[in-house]
Amino acid sequence: MNRQPPAPLEIMPLGGLGEIGMNLMVYGYENKLLVVDCGLTFPSPDTPGVDFIIPDARFLVENRERVVGIVLTHGHEDHIGAMPYIWPILQVPIYGTAMTLGLLEGKFREHGLLGQADMIETKHRQPLQVGPFNITFVHVTHSIVDSSALAIRTPLGTIVHTGDFKIDHTPVNDLPTDLYTFAHLGEKGVLALLSDSTNINRPGATISEQTVSDVFTKLFPRAKGLLVVATFSSNIQRIQQVMHAAAAVKRKVLLNGRSMLANVNVARGLGHIDIPDDILIDIRKLDHYPREQVVVISTGSQGEPNSSLVRIASGEHQEIQIRPGDTVILSSRFIPGNERTIWSLINLLFKRGAEVIHEKILPEVHVSGHAPREDLKLMLALTRPKFFIPIHGERRHLQNHRDLALGLGIPETNSLVLENGDRALLTRDSLSLDGTIPCGRVFVDGKGVGDVGDIVLRDRLHLSEDGMVVVVLVIAKAGGEILQRPELLTRGVVYEDENLDLLEEAKDAVEAALALGSKGMDFSDDEVVGAAEIAQRALRRFFKKRLGRRPAVFPLVMEM
């Protein structure tokens, strides 16, 4: 009796490939879909006014009856941040470790979703069945506790999805990456490895987190005045290091920032952080202690507008002020794209007299949470996959990671570089592209989700670059003649009080155009235009000719 070969596995990224952040991977098998991670990304200069960006989930919405669950590898924003927006559409069980689900509960509480979702806590090395997928969470080190890779077993074979990881043999919490399980999976046979590519261009192996502890041990005793350490609120291990270093020099600790307080509370409740007795102080009692006896652990290391550290640096924080002689340590990476805001923050701190220490002058003050080249080689060597797909990164990261895998013996035909929306088919003997699925980005702006599109963003960029002009026309209802001279209001074009003559010339141009009519402004014979369209075109031409600028022109017609 001939047995039918197992069905192929579909691999379909909706986010995180071809970009940094917004990670969302979909695996399809036997007509069922498994979602791995559901993150967001933050806006860039070409998306003004947008709070953050989430994946377009049209494909999942159209196939919601096929989705069997959402599996989360860890609790960073780029892996769970879109959950409050996408989960309500799917209403499926959520699987994750205790810390990951604890952070997610905080997000669901903010969105009024707490208690609605079926959140299933998972343990490392304990398999669970989700539809046709048998999943084992494998512990990995990263810049947040309780991080996991996934071993996804199907009748076709085992898929290893690393999530974000690094290989730190001496982490702060004494829980190194589970190399034994990866080696065991490799011994049994891994059909495909999908591995984090973020740090492929960094040579060498991971520097241990203990290096940061050593730096703190040297810096803390010599610090005078108030000591501020800025880091990501999710980096519980780094916060733990600051706590230990502060206790060693008998400084109290003040946690600053809403997310910092929330994340530490979750980690403390789960036993992921050891806070010495009586070390924490309330921000309202800061003035009760000498400045040289306090360490502030703050959010805002990326110079985000309105973040706690930016408000401190600009003198706008009500309780915390920087004075000459204080020390600020930025224990975080300069994330690409944030360099300008971080340097602006540093300049503000220097202006207030602080000594500022950061990774550009002392690299050991921060250790990345992502695997550099030697760690990525080790993951490939341990798992020995038949097929390889790089994940998490821009095209250059993915391509370089694929080249690394080819250099380690993966056949060229057994590796693909995918981007969001690609649909790959994996069998026991082949890996191939098989079309695309709907994908894209959805902008979240305030309470609006998806109501800001490319046209709105283009308008915002236009306004930010060239400004706007409003022209007010008063027209007779009967006959349509102009009853008074046009009025102009400009914003972001010229300073009106110093350019009155120019604005009078602009009004003259509008009046002349209205006198000529539509043909005088080169409208075609079949176009139906009124005074508003004529005035708009006249002003566009005027400002382009006189100033070389293209402001947005908005005509306002009042009939009397």
> Which CATH number goes with the domain that contains 265?
3.40.50.10710
Q: Are residues 122 and 181 in the same domain?
A: yes
Please report where in the chains the tokens 């382009």 appear, as a residue: 544
Read off the pLDDT of residues 480-520 as tens digits, 9 standing for 90 and up.
677 788 888 888 788 788 888 888 888 888 888 887 777 66
217 domain residue, yes or no: yes
Is 39 within the bounds of a domain? yes
Mean pLDDT, range 243-252, rounded to an integer: 95
In a domain, residue 2? The reply is: no
Whether residues 427 and 444 share a domain: the answer is: yes
| Whether residue 199 is found in the same domain as residue 264 | no
- The per-residue pLDDT of the chain, averaged, comes to 89
Question: Residues 70, 117: one domain?
Answer: yes
- Mean pLDDT within 220-242: 94
Please tell me the pTM assigned to this model. 0.82
Q: For residue 460, is pLDDT > 60?
A: no
Give the C-alpha separation, 551 to 493, whole Å: 7
Of 38-52, 156-170, 464-478, give the range with the top mean pLDDT: 156-170
For the stretch 167-177, pLDDT in tens is 999 888 889 99
Which one from 196, 326, 422, 445 is the annotated catalytic residue? 196
Whether 3 maps to a domain, the answer reads no
d(CA 213, CA 172) in angstroms, rounded, equals 9
Q: What is the DSSP string of 408-459?
A: TT--GGGB----TTEEEEE-SS-EEEEEE----EEEEETTEEEEE-HHHHHH
| Both structure tokens of 470 | 């409003």
Q: Determine whether 146 is an active site residue.
A: no
Kind of pairing between the strands at 355-357 and 294-298: unpaired
Q: Are residues 215 and 193 in the same domain?
A: no
Residue 344 pLDDT? 92
Last residue of a domain, one of 395, 418, 450: 450
Q: What letter would DSSP give residue 208?
A: P
- Active-site residue (options: 370, 392, 397, 401): 370
Q: What is the pLDDT of residues 407-456, one digit of tens each?
A: 999 999 999 999 999 999 999 999 999 999 999 888 776 554 544 455 55
Domain that holds residue 425: 9-204+368-450
pLDDT band at 49 (very low <50, low <70, confident <90, very high): low
308/291 same-domain check? yes
Q: What is the pLDDT confidence band of residue 536, given thresholds at 50, 70 and 90?
A: confident
Task: Round to whole Å and give the CA distance between 386 and 409.
Answer: 10
Query: For position 15, which CATH number holds?
Result: 3.60.15.10
Query: In terms of domains, do 170 and 24 share one?
Result: yes
The answer to whether the beta carbons of residues 125 and 136 sit under 8 Å apart is yes
* 418 in the same domain as 287: no
Tokens 């898929």 locate to 159
Q: Report the pLDDT value the prediction gives residue 510, as an integer from 0 to 100.
A: 83
> What CATH number is given to the structural domain containing 530?
3.10.20.580
Boundary residue ending a domain (346, 365, 384): 365
CB count, 10 Å around CB of 424? 20
Is pLDDT at 307 greater than 60 in this prediction? yes
For 548, other C-beta atoms within 10 Å of its C-beta total 7
| Model pLDDT for residues 349-362, shown as the tens digit of each residue | 999 999 999 999 99
* Domain-ending residue, one of 330, 365, 400: 365
**Same domain? 486 vs 512:** yes
Taking only the tens place, the pLDDT of each residue in 381-405 is 999 999 999 999 999 999 999 999 9
The amino acid at residue 139 is H
Please say whether the beta carbons of 156 and 29 come within 8 A.
Answer: yes
Residues 490 and 537 in one domain: yes
Token readout for 371 is: 């695997």
Are residues 230 and 130 part of one domain? no
Has residue 2 got a pLDDT over 80?
Answer: no
For residues 29 and 125, membership in a common domain is answered with: yes
Residue 17: closest CA among 404, 383, 439, 411: 439
| Total domains present in the chain | 3
Q: Is 370 a catalytic residue?
A: yes
Q: Does residue 458 lie in a domain region?
A: no
State residue 392's pLDDT score.
95
Do the domain assignments include residue 219? yes
Inside any domain, residue 457: no
Is residue 460 a part of any domain in this protein? no
